[in-house]
Structure 1
Amino acid sequence: MRPGIFSMVKLGEMNHTTLVIGFYAEGPTDIRFLSKVILRTTEQIILNRSSSVISVLEPFPIEVDKTGDRVQEILQAATKAAGYNILIIHADADDKTDKKAFKERINPGFQSVQQDENEEFCKNLVAIVPVQMTEAWMVADKEALKEELGTQKNNQELGLTFPLKQVEKIADPKSKIQEIIRIAFKDLPARRRKVQISSLYSPLGQQVSLDILEQLPSYLKFKTNLTNALIKLNYISLKTTKPR
């Protein structure tokens, strides 16, 4: 069933509705991790701010022609997400801050969607921009990472000694995770070294602590913007209705 057939129902009209989210990501591994984080974050926001029963579907991946023109890619994604309630656009910052990513790869596309009179667009756009890259969020929750690896080694042995506030300052967090995997399994025979970084994205997306992620400015910005979008669409109230 094509998700676009769902229509947005305001809180005052029914006590149960469905929220449909489209997700355009830079790569397949980003989808595996971030889709879980997006779903869990949305559910958490709704649980805290809505007294209605709202079903949140796992984000539907949007595929577009990679033209090299980021504005056109976002326009394509918005067209394909017509009928969805929200479209989330991902970009890794690939930098120490998200300023350049927003300036060059998010804002121009968002502005083009809003200015275009095409009614077939999904115009409820939210950006998700990890600093430096998605893998920084994956390494933020050290206990979840160690549990998924099944290692008994401690943070010191694995090189997980950096404070949380320094996570997004790691220049290449993907390489950092690969090094942690190497250390975790270096004393085991080759036949037992079954964990690859590619196998971590989906389970860590499900297990990473949202409370820990909320201490990262880039995640908090995403959550704030997603909250504002849900308020605009009348899915949630302005104020928290339940304790976290």
Structure 2
Amino acid sequence: MKLMGAMPDLVVVHRDSDNVDPAARREEIHDGARRADVSSRVLPLIPVKMTEAWLLLDESAIRHVAGNPRGRMDLNLPKAHEVESRADPKKILSDCLVRAADATGRRRRTVEERFSNHRRQLLERLDPFGPVTQLSSWQALLHDIDETVKRWQEEQ
């Protein structure tokens, strides 16, 4: 905060739930902010498993980012109602990107090595009004944003 020269109005803290109750993670974030003497509003961002679970709902975006938008290979994506309960969404996403690229040899290795870049592109393409709205962690984020805005409005 010293680098900015002023206290920000809002600090968004990302912490994957990782099989811990999201309410416990939320309390962990707020406790940490109190201990760090953060006077800004703190907005917890808590995907139920990992952020990558949010990215597993858009097959078209995965195919596009993998460089094969017209591909036909079955990606074996989890259904919306199971995506937050699947183990290791990061690995599932990585595997889906490789399958979507439908590549072998050197190109396959390139796809595997570019996972971080592909994940970033998928996050940039995430439709905030699309399938992600079915997920409890996304709904909780929207609720937290709404509550933060309400408190700001009440203070003015």
Q: TM-score range, shorter-chain basis? A: 0.7 to 0.9
Structure 1 pair 96–144 and aligned structure 2 pair: CA distance change class (3 A): farther
Query: Over aligned residue pairs, what C-alpha RMSD do you find?
Result: 2.7
Inter-partner Cα distance in structure 2 for 1:219 and 1:153: 29
CA separation of 1:177 and 1:192: change in aligned 2, threshold 3 A: closer
Aligned match of 1:9: none
Aligned counterpart, 1:197: 115
Aligned partners of 2:98 and 2:108 also within 8 Å: no
Match of 2:41 in 1: 124
Going from structure 1 to structure 2, the CA distance change for 1:167 and 1:97 (only over 3 Å counts) comes to: farther
The SS at the match of 1:167 is coil
Gaps of at least 5 residues in structure 2 are none
Correspondence for 1:142 among 47, 59, 63: 59
Give the conservation status (yes or no) of the 8 Å contact 1:185–1:193.
no
Match of 2:124 in 1: 206
Q: Aligned partners of 2:59, 2:149: CA distance in 1, in Å? A: 31
Q: Deviations over 1:147-180 (max 9, x none)?
A: 21122334x61112x2212111111001101211
1:223 and 2:146 correspond:
no
Count the aligned residue pairs.
Answer: 148
Q: CA deviation at 1:231?
A: 2.5
In the alignment, the residues of structure 1 paired with residue 74 and residue 143 of structure 2 have an alpha-carbon distance, to the nearest angstrom, of: 36
**Alignment partners' CA distance in 2, 1:203 and 1:90:** 18
User: Given the two structures, how large is their TM-score scaled by the length of structure 1?
Assistant: 0.53
- 1:101 equivalent in structure 2: 25
Give a deviation string over 1:100-145, Cα, whole Å, max 9, x none. Answer: 4335x324335x36xx9x6xx3331110000111111121222222
**How many angstroms apart in 2 are the aligned matches of 1:225 and 1:97?**
16
Partners of 2:90 and 2:139 lie apart in 1 by 21
Equivalent of 2:10, from 60, 64, 86? 86
Percent pairwise identity: 23
Q: Which runs of 5+ in 1 are unaligned?
A: 6-82, 236-244
Matched, 1:170 2:89: no
Structure 2 residue matching 1:166: 3-state secondary structure: coil
SS in 2 for 1:182: helix
Change (3 A) 1:177 1:137: same
The amino acid of 2:126's aligned partner reads: V
1:183 maps to what in 2?
A: 99
Shift of 1:89: 1.1
Q: TM-score, normalised by structure 2?
A: 0.78
Structure 2: distance between partners of 1:168 and 1:190:
32
